[in-house]
Amino acid sequence: MKPNFGILFLAMFFWGVIISSCGKKQDSPQPANSFGTTSISTTPSDKGWTFEGTPFFADEFNSIGKPDSTKWTYDIGGGGWGNNELEYYTNLAGNASVSNGVLSINAKKEAYNGQGYTSARLVSKGLGSMLYGRVEVSAKLPSGRGLWPAVWMLSDNDAYGSWPKSGEIDVMENVGYDPGPVYFTIHTQLYNGAIGTQKGASKNIADASTAFHRYRMDWTPYAVRGYYDDALVFTYINNGNGPAAWPFDQKFHLLLNVAVGGNWGGIKGVDDSSFPTGMQVDYVHFYKMIDK
């Protein structure tokens, strides 16, 4: 997204003004919790936390058929999802299926419930949720202008209010019209895509759509860190200024989806010749943090 200084401003403008895809949930807004602006906490020190070697939540996708219902539910619906997206998310096997050790989240060009495309958005809420730990997802991304795949996290209970007050962690985002950069981003009340203050970084992964890569988040009371193929990409440190900057002291869950179009993904339109296409996921692992 930043190939030269000539388009740097435009690229950062578009990234800044959108609400991350992932972004805003479609649910009705909730009343803000005053803790989101008034609570002050002590800046933690980095204790060098480590993580257990065996995941407490894992899906290797070794079954055949629809995703394991003991690990995943679905967000279902259309209406744009707060980002002017064009797909209708379903729970149909044609949009999310497992075979040959891989989960496929498939986006299709088809009319469905008033939308022109279908896809799927899998959710681990209540089945795979965590407070501090490591998340690692091995995935191969779709290619095509107008696609917007994401691996991301939201809070279970919106303890500090509706988005963005309770936070969002985008472990991986990519847009098909500019497929090289892969983005790790956080959103909070103070720092979010709706007002162009989100915090994040990107790494160019030339073969993201032809090979599996590891997208990882290490989350401790001190920081959220993003790694791609074990290389550190981004660090966001808890500055001790409370939930407006650090809402990441509550349980979060994972979401896996492929959006079509939208405020970011659809900036340059949609190439219908790309469909059907999808994101493939080899595994999902959650590891507990070892407290000190």
What secondary structure does DSSP assign to 230-252, as a single string? TEEEEEEE--SS-TTT---SS-E
The answer to whether 190 and 162 have CB atoms below 8 angstroms apart is no
The answer to whether 18 and 175 have CB atoms below 8 angstroms apart is no
Which of 249, 291, 245 minimizes the C-alpha distance to 37?
245
Q: Which helix (H) or strand (E) holds 7?
A: helix 5-17
Query: For strand 102-112 and strand 213-219, is the pairing parallel, antiparallel, or unpaired?
Result: unpaired
Active site includes 87? Answer: no
Instruction: Tell whether omega for the bond before 142 is within 30 degrees of 0, i.e. cis.
Output: no
Active site includes 168? Answer: yes
Instruction: Tell whether omega for the bond before 276 is within 30 degrees of 0, i.e. cis.
Output: yes
CA-CA distance, 148 to 209, in Å (whole number)? 12
The answer to whether 182 and 202 have CB atoms below 8 angstroms apart is yes
Selecting among 85, 87, 136, 173, the annotated active-site residue is: 173
Beta strands in the chain (DSSP E): 50-51, 57-59, 73-74, 87-89, 96-99, 102-112, 115-119, 121-123, 129-130, 133-140, 147-155, 168-175, 178-187, 199-204, 213-219, 223-228, 231-237, 252-260, 277-290
User: What residues are labeled active site?
Assistant: 168, 173
